[in-house]
Structure 1
Amino acid sequence: MSTTIVRRDTTASAVSAALLGLLTLVVLVRLALGSPRGQQWDDSAMHTVMGGRDTQLAMLSLLGYVGIGAVVAVVAGCAVVSVMRGRIALAAGAAAVIAGANVTTQVLKHTVLQRPDLGLGTLNSLPSGHTTVVASSVGAALLVAPRAWRPVVALAGGLATTMTGASTVVAGWHRPSDVVAALAVSLVWTAGVALVLRGRAAPIAGTTAGAVVGCVTATVLLIVIGVRPVLGWDGFVDAGLVLGLITAATAVFVVAAASVCSTD
């Protein structure tokens, strides 16, 4: 009598993650762009948190590092790790995640999506370009990282993505929905590439803990450097909800992105 051992691959998790990203994006477009109440909430949420002069300078300095140079460095790092692992296809996959997500964000923001005039301006800023750069880089890094490295990548990625997304909101560059939409776009591309590179699924307990710790640490750091409710204690709940939303959404993104990575 023979026993067949079934090794679960990443197909199911990749499809689920891609659908989660697509559904999130569709809902955000419908509510945050096409709904009067959604536009109003989104604009109000952007103005619930603030930072003083030193805080703003610190955030602008951080955002200044998010650009072409950072992307090139991440792609190069992913290529090196892929070569070390003997998995050249992972390098191509990482490049596809970063390029695909960022091109998609720019096309959606500047060509496809329109912000109807509902009394709050017509300039569309969804999805956030800065957040997409960082989130897609995290997705690419998780894709190529060896299994043992993923908790550390998840921690660093959660911290960097939360800091970037929240900083764009505090600086007044983006609304919260822009940040979450960028996470959704990055997740779709990470999951899509993982589906093509399909391999054996890996447990994600360590990456889940790493993602949560990284995201929460970023939020604590934001408070330490001076991010505060615009209305003081009267606005504490609203500001907490906004920062909490960004933190939770980023943690979900990192965990979902890690879930599609294989052990191969």
Structure 2
Amino acid sequence: MTTLATRPTVPLHPVVRPGGGWAARVVGGLVLAVLGTVVTAASWLLLVDSASGRRFDHAVMVAVEDVFSGVRGDVLDLLRLVSIASVGLALLAIAVIGLSRRRVGAVAAGVALVLVSQAITQGLKAVLPREGAGENSLPSGHVTVISALVVATLLVLPAALRYVAAAAGLVVIAGASIAVIAAGWHRPGDVLAAYGVIAAVGGGLLVLDGLRRAVLRHRQRSVVAVSQ
């Protein structure tokens, strides 16, 4: 009877696939980045650069303001909760959850999503002109940061909690989107552009993650080939 004791010693290589799914991530990330860029560009071209688009965009904002005029003060109080300090605390909580689960990569991706998307949003605000307005408001910084924080939270949560958290996150994002319009801070086009920025940055990060996995996979194969 052959037992482990009588068998020759053979080095065992654990089956680890750190590069698994890299191609899907790269392709999916590219698609998401392109779609996000198109949404942001179209929001400006159709709802800001176009005179008829500006009128429509402004009319929708005024209509939403009228609907929520009775609670405008409460809406403003909620929006004022979004500050550098509150965003910093949220990022700290995300980091604590992620690091406690040893999800360092997820924490890094979440923080990068929040910081990079906000940097792009503020950059677009500074460089894009708006006809008939003293200051460009596209994209919405509030919607950008809240959406990014929701996604970053999903990245670090256990899989069992993600569906519930995703549903709650969608409610939060929708509420923030309506709130900035009801307060008269942003037009619908600004909100759409914020969604586009999040998609574009998220897609870019997904591409980077896919490329990282491809490199790890190549290195793993090289190590296995050398050891054989």
TM tier, shorter chain? 0.7 to 0.9
- Cα shift readout 1:147-177 (whole Å, capped 9, x = no counterpart): 2222122112111111111011111111000
Please state if 1:130 is matched with 2:142. yes
2:25, 2:209 within 8 Å by CA — same for their partners in 1?
A: no
Which residue, 19, 33, 38 being the options, matches 1:23?
38
User: What is the match of residue 78 of structure 1?
Assistant: 94
What count of residue pairs does the alignment treat as equivalent? 190
User: What is the match of residue 104 of structure 1?
Assistant: 120
Output the TM-score relative to the length of structure 1.
0.66
1:62, 1:164 within 8 Å by CA — same for their partners in 2?
A: no
User: What is the match of residue 160 of structure 2?
Assistant: 148
Query: Shift of residue 145 of structure 1?
Result: 2.6
User: What is the match of residue 60 of structure 1?
Assistant: 76
Query: Shift of residue 69 of structure 1?
Result: 2.2
Letter in 2 for 1:115: R
1:140, 1:190 within 8 Å by CA — same for their partners in 2?
A: no
1:132, 1:186 within 8 Å by CA — same for their partners in 2?
A: yes
Letter in 1 for 2:80: G
Query: Which whole-Å CA distance do the structure 2 matches of 1:144 and 1:189 have between them?
Result: 18
Structure 1 residue ranges without an equivalent (≥5): 1-6, 201-264
Which residue, 190, 194, 201 being the options, matches 1:189?
201
Query: Which whole-Å CA distance do the structure 2 matches of 1:135 and 1:17 have between them?
Result: 15
Output the TM-score relative to the length of structure 2.
0.76
Moved over 4 A (4+): none
- Cα shift readout 1:181-216 (whole Å, capped 9, x = no counterpart): 11111121222223222399xxxxxxxxxxxxxxxx
Find the structure with the greater CA-based Rg.
2
Please state if 1:39 is matched with 2:54. yes
Query: Shift of residue 48 of structure 1?
Result: 1.1
Matches within 5 A, 1:115-264: 115-117=130-132, 121-198=133-210
Query: Which whole-Å CA distance do the structure 2 matches of 1:78 and 1:40 have between them?
Result: 40
2:69, 2:182 within 8 Å by CA — same for their partners in 1?
A: no
CA distance 1:15–1:147, shift in 2 (3 Å): farther
Query: Shift of residue 122 of structure 1?
Result: 4.7
SS state at 2:144 partner: helix
Structure 2 residue ranges without an equivalent (≥5): 1-19, 214-228
User: What is the match of residue 230 of structure 1?
Assistant: none
CA-based RMSD of the aligned residues comes to: 2.1
Matches within 5 A, 1:89-100: 89-100=105-116
Query: Shift of residue 70 of structure 1?
Result: 2.3
Letter in 2 for 1:73: L
- What is the percent sequence identity of the aligned residues? 33
Query: Which whole-Å CA distance do the structure 1 matches of 2:128 and 2:173 have between them?
Result: 24
2:61, 2:182 within 8 Å by CA — same for their partners in 1?
A: yes
Query: Which whole-Å CA distance do the structure 1 matches of 2:74 and 2:197 have between them?
Result: 27
